[in-house]
Amino acid sequence: MRMRLFLSFSLLLSLYVLNGCAPVTARPTIDPKLAEQEAAIQKKMAVEEQIELFRRLSRVAQPILTNGVPICGDDVTYFIGMDTNSIDAVAKDWRSAYADALGLEEYVKVTYVLANSPAEKSGFQVGDIITYLNDDKIEPGKYCYRDFQTRLTELLESGKDIEFWIERDGLPKKLVVSPAKRCSYSVVLTEDVVVNAYANGHAVMVTKGMMQFAQKDDELALVIGHEMGHNVMDHIDKQQGNRVMGAVLDGILSGLTGVYINTFQNVGGMLYSQEFEQEADYVGMYFMERGGYDSSNVANFWRRMGASFPYAITHATTHPTSASRYVFLTECHKEIAGKEEAGKDLMPERAETVAKKK
């Protein structure tokens, strides 16, 4: 009985204390309908910003991907250079916003055409509705976008001409696209507001935060080229291999001592990390220069990075310092400029090739 009385008293006391901490101002009430309308406005603004960032990322990345084919070696694919969408491919909560921003309905619609791409050269325009892909009819409705993308991916593998039937201004029109080669790495925009970009061996991810920080296209090209450098030089697989080797050593030591150890796995993951970053910077400079971007002043990106994140100026962990990266990129540009002046092919130098020349 005493325990129950104590608990009841404690509960009442807590409620009294919490009530004393409540707001005391007389505030205007919110109309739920107005809040709902404002949510729709903000969703549309978010979609429009996302579209703008995506289009900029695609526009900057495309010449790097196409002109970088000699560096990418066997990691190449075919592309046509346009973005399509359908309302069925959008999450239900966002369909109204995407319908307003892009005019999406229950059919596959062209929403963006890259300049100088095979799609543009064949005559595609934003707003075209795709009705046939070769002999396959694209039925409007649920899963139409998924089915279209699956079929298009299959056709692109061959690199052969693709026949489209579209509807434009209510009239049918036939367009034939000749796919072109590009590096096979996808370049993806993420919602993260942190200033970052990363690679996974197959794709390049660029955050919204990095898009906003890399104000100039040359800077964004540097970022994309750097991450492509990681992919083409197999850094992700090499780091994973180093971690595995470290884990084997940890396993042996754990078996001998009876104590769980993961020291060498962590060390293996860090092995050559700064060297990999520098190599990605080096190869990335060639990617961006081949893509038609100016590498002469792009090292200033790292001055701005140092100004925004002062710790990186002199402290190196997995990445070199921002100061050393500025100096290194300046030297890379000198090498590239020398090759351009001499009319040499813009390809990164391999260590074994340089050794033979000496």
pLDDT digits (tens, 9 = 90+) for 229-277: 999 998 887 666 445 444 444 444 444 454 444 543 444 344 347 888 9
Residue 279 and residue 225: Cα distance in Å, rounded?
11
Quote the pLDDT of residue 253: 42
What residue ranges define each of the domains in the chain, with the CATH number in brackets? 76-183 (2.30.42.10), 188-357 (no CATH)
* List of residues 6+ apart from 287 with CB closer than 8 A: 64, 68, 71, 221, 224, 225, 228, 229
The 8-class DSSP code of residue 297 comes to S
pLDDT in tens, 10-36: 665 565 555 556 777 888 888 899 999
Quote the pLDDT of residue 141: 86
- Going from the C-alpha of 242 to that of each of 198, 230, 272, 274, the distances in angstroms are 19, 15, 9, 14
Give residue 137's pLDDT band: very low, low, confident or very high (50, 70, 90): very high
Q: Are 287 and 68 in contact (CB under 8 A)?
A: yes
Q: Residue 213, Cβ neighbours under 10 Å: how many?
A: 19
> Helix 235-257 to helix 273-290 angle, to the nearest 10 degrees?
170
Mean pLDDT of 334-349: 96
The 8-class DSSP code of residue 135 comes to T
Quote the pLDDT of residue 249: 42
pLDDT in tens, 279-314: 999 999 999 999 999 999 999 999 999 898 876 565
| pTM for the whole structure | 0.83
Of the candidate ranges 107-116, 212-221, 234-243, the one whose mean pLDDT is the lowest:
234-243
Q: Tell me how far apart the terminal alpha carbons of the chain are, to the nearest angstrom.
A: 93
* List of residues 6+ apart from 206 with CB closer than 8 A: 57, 187, 188, 189, 190, 197, 220, 223, 224, 227
Residue 137 CB burial class (10 angstroms; 0-12, 13-18, ≥19): exposed
Q: Are 111 and 83 in contact (CB under 8 A)?
A: yes
Give residue 182's pLDDT band: very low, low, confident or very high (50, 70, 90): very high
Quote the pLDDT of residue 235: 81
- Give percent of the chain above pLDDT 90: 69
Q: What are phi and psi of 132, to 5 degrees?
A: -135, 145
Q: What's the chain's average pLDDT?
A: 85
Quote the pLDDT of residue 112: 97
Residue 321 and residue 314: Cα distance in Å, rounded?
6
Quote the pLDDT of residue 6: 56
